[in-house]
Amino acid sequence: MILIDGLSYWYPDGTRALDHLSLRIARGSSTGIVGANGAGKSTLVNHLNGYFLPQEGSVSVGGVGIGKKSLEGIHRMVGLVFQNPDDQLFTARLYDDIAFGPENLGMEPSAVRCVVERTLRELDLWELRDKPPCHLSQGEKRFAAFATVMVMEPEVIVMDEPTSDLDLKHRRKLISLVNSFGATRVTVSHDLDFIWDTCQRVCIMKKGRIAADGAAREILSNRELLEDNNLELPLRLQGL
């Protein structure tokens, strides 16, 4: 489903964020991308929907190479949930934020109303539909950001630090939601317990490369490997 081949990326100040990184992600799989700060995780996932374009190497999703000419199709295929929900919510009413994507696809108004209502009800946000997003709680904003992606029914859902600022109740709810997705899932997170609960596979990034790749529970229970990459065991395994 996702093929990354020899991907390199430099920021304008000369910092090399990705260094000839190659990775294959199967359709319908759930992959966690972990690593210390500055490992290149967010830079990598920002390539998956064309937010960044490859400077060297290539990225393709569903056989479609990511480039300027393919961005419209890629944006329909890949949904990106940003780390900060405020980057995803920008209208004066929650309903309009959720309707924005379908409307821009040219859907009939009746179809837009149907899909927006269904998505808001699925996420227990229907009663909040007329509220300004800025008046929502942090947990409500997080699920609203997911709604803006889910309403588009993408084939791939990419999540960047989805549990940041969530309380335990909303975190448990998010785990259940994410595990219900049939789409290919790619999750970047420092929350290794969330990765344990939602991912089949884990890739550890270090200095813009893949340092380790394997079954989630094997990778996440390997104390020596995690410590070599400036990570710690998931909280559920610490002290065992």
List the domains of the chain with CATH numbers. Answer: 2-84+156-237 (3.40.50.300)
Provide the pLDDT for residue 240. Answer: 54
pTM: 0.93
| pLDDT over 90 at 164, yes or no | no
| CB atoms closer than 10 angstroms to residue 186 | 27
Q: Which of 73, 151, 82, 162 is nearest to 117 (CA)?
A: 151
Provide the pLDDT for residue 106. Answer: 87
Provide the pLDDT for residue 127. Answer: 96
Answer left, alpha or beta for residue 230, where phi above 0 means left and psi between -120 and 50 means alpha.
left
In percent, the amount of the chain with pLDDT more than 90 equals 91
Task: Report how far residue 162's alpha carbon sits from residue 9's, in angstroms, rounded to the nearest whole number.
Answer: 24
Is the Cβ–Cβ distance between 19 and 8 less than 8 Å? yes
